[in-house]
Amino acid sequence: MSVLFFASEQAVRRAALVLVSVVMGAVAACTTPGDSASAGSSATSSATESLAASAAGSRRASAPADTDDFGTPFPKDVSASARIVSLNPTATELLYTLGVSERLVGRSAWDEFPAEVKSVPSVGNGIGVNVEAVLGVRPTLVVLYATPENRTAAEALQRAGVHTIALRVDHIADFMALTTRLGRVVGAERRAITVRDTVQATLDSVRAVLRGVTATPVVWPVWLAPTMVIGGGSFLDELIEIAGGHNVFHDSPAPSPQVSIEEIAKRNPDFVIASDSTMARLRKDAPWRAVRAVRDARWLRSDPALTGRPSVVLGMAAVSLARVMHPERAAALPR
């Protein structure tokens, strides 16, 4: 959703935005195109990010099954989903997989998958929602990414008589929950369960193939100025573990903590996971030569089209990572 297909710079920027958007207020810093561009404003600290991630997890854990991550009850009538605006890229892609894309009347500027979504009108960013633009396409249901920045928009849409669903997708379990919940709302629960179970089966198969391997120590930079890497609070950390790797920043509870290059060098990963464009930047960046894996050109190519968001391609994302981390077992991996 071809292992090693590389997405456009715009797709990679959107992937970075999805990763950083789990941090309260961090999206405002993500304005420059590129795989790991400079932030326009200072990044949120790791401590704040950790608190935000923990608080979000606590809210999700305590939310009833029939409410969204803001505590809003799900609409009970399928007719509420007759005209959908999705400002949550994971949900947008899922709507196509569930076979209800004909109901989609608006999307976020970050949506790029599947390719057909480009024919749907963009109504702006997924965080910092343009409520007037959304209402302009006359939706009956709006699917939001559940960040504090979107709560005001959700309330405004509800006052206008529009149903809203706000969902966070930081972890693989969040994707599984979103799939069944959204499937129920749009009247495609049986198909949603099939999608969920298929993704889980692929993840389980990858884990089984790699049972007994020595975990490969890796670091995954997602932003260069300031330096941010994948931490233990991200679905990508989970994919690394499933694919037979060990994220040297797994101990950070934040999804994408800000760290120093010196700390990366100290943790001494065997490999750096990066796309081609990030590799090119790191090769030219003298401070990164302090990291042995960069100095020795020990790269593992990532596929942003698969790893850039938690979605229906999570299983194949794990396969793609497993193939580059453990090529000796590639033939046994799912295809």
User: pLDDT tens across 98-138, in order?
Assistant: 999 999 999 999 999 999 999 999 999 999 999 999 999 99
User: pLDDT tens across 35-64, in order?
Assistant: 433 333 333 343 334 434 444 444 454 455
Assign 165 to helix, strand or coil. strand
Q: How many helices (H) and strands (E) does the chain have?
A: 13, 10
Q: Give the span between the Cα atoms of 33 and 282, in whole angstroms.
A: 17
The whole-number pLDDT of residue 334 equals 96
Strands 216-219 and 84-86 turn out to be unpaired
Q: Give the span between the Cα atoms of 128 and 143, in whole angstroms.
A: 14
Confidence of residue 65 (pLDDT cuts 50, 70, 90): confident
Residue indicated by tokens 């590639």: 330
The whole-number pLDDT of residue 24 equals 31
Q: Are 139 and 83 in contact (CB under 8 A)?
A: yes
